[in-house]
Amino acid sequence: MSSLDDVASATGIDASRLDSIEKGQTEPTGDEVLILADHYRCDFKFFISNDQVAPFEQTETLYRAHGADFTKEDRRAIQDFLYLCETEAFLMQELGQRSKQFDFTPTGTYFKGHGATAAERFRIALGHTEKEVSRDIYAEFRSAGIHVFRRKLGNSNISGLFIMHPVAGKCTLVNLSEDVYRQRFSAAHEMAHAIFDYAQGASVSFDRTQGLDMLEIRANRFASCFLMPPASLALLPDPSRWSEADAIRWANELRVSCHALAIALKEARLIDEPTANRIQRMRVPRESKIEPELPDSLNASQRERKARLLELGLSDFYVGLCFDAFCNGIISVGRLAEALLSSQAELTELASIYGRSLHGH
């Protein structure tokens, strides 16, 4: 969590009083409850009820284990992320949008096998053939009840994180600072944590896992098999004969990095280690990669503005929910601006960028 001095500076409440409130020695005033709820972007009821766990308390697990890995800005980003998850859950409920829970119970102790089997079962649940390659994975994860947001974090070593939100449920954050194809792998990796490790409450995933962390290995195996089904890999031209152009072409077709593709091909026993090492060193050119939420239809100014909004976590899906709720009279224009992390004055421009309107329901 933020230090008491940080919270005191941000809220104007004296640090010693905050300390007393935190220890249960002092009851906060009504104004202080509202100020703290606004600071932590959560419902004020969390501060006055013993029956509910505040969302920000879930982040204590993260900060105790990885406190040095999060900047002050990253901690604020995580608070915003939790707020977006809770708002998304509320809007989906109010709009009657239901998701279908995916459950998988592993047996035995072969963690990599757990990951591969769960990926296969999840793909079947989504209606995919064994050879079909997933495209809009974010929509697929949302369909399974996961709140997934991409948000820019300052620490580029963090790929993503998973939090079991006390109200919204399973929530994953993917670091938008990463390469766009790496983000897909990170999202699938966090999906695995949502399937297998939700009872832990919260976890952080890094770009490079140190040592033999079996939970991370299982999550990586799930991500690999979900994005690159072994049956699909078996249909590719002999990868041992690939040129650099071939490797880049197939990595781009699968929307994965050459590094991830090489590991998957080796796991499928389609290439040997020297060939895997050669393919891993190749890179898909950044300009040829497909960013799903920055279409060519945007002009340069709109593209730049939307890229900044994406850095805040505002996905097309989430923004669409917000405007649908507004158009259906579920939320006010003020609540719409708050949900979109913006001011009311910015709403017209924001609506235009996302192809929506503040007028005409």
What distance in Å separates the CA atoms of residue 76 and residue 106, rounded to the nearest whole number?
Answer: 35
Give the whole-angstrom CA distance, residue 113 versus residue 14: 53
Looking at residue 286, what is its pLDDT? 87
- Residue by residue, pLDDT tens for the chain (361 residues) are 456 777 778 788 888 887 777 666 777 776 676 677 666 665 544 444 444 445 556 666 677 667 677 888 888 888 889 989 999 999 999 999 988 889 999 998 999 999 999 999 999 999 998 888 888 999 999 999 999 999 999 888 899 999 998 889 999 999 999 999 999 999 999 999 999 999 888 888 987 765 678 999 999 999 999 999 999 999 999 999 999 999 999 999 999 999 999 999 999 999 999 999 999 999 999 888 888 898 888 888 888 999 999 999 999 999 999 999 999 999 999 999 999 999 999 999 899 888 898 875 4
Q: Which residue has the tokens 């499928």?
A: 268
Q: Retrieve residue 321's tokens.
A: 């929910």
3-state per-residue secondary structure call for 86-106: HHHHHHHHHCCCCCCCCCCCC
Helix, coil or strand: residue 92: helix
Q: What are phi and psi for residue 206, nearest 5 degrees?
A: -110, 160
Q: What is the pLDDT of residue 13?
A: 83
CA angle 343-347-349, nearest 5°? 125
Q: Could you give the count of Cα atoms lying within 13 Å of 51 in the half-sphere of its Cβ?
A: 1
Q: Is the distance from CB of 146 to CB of 170 less than 8 angstroms?
A: yes
pLDDT given at position 1: 45
The two tokens of residue 68 are 């040095």
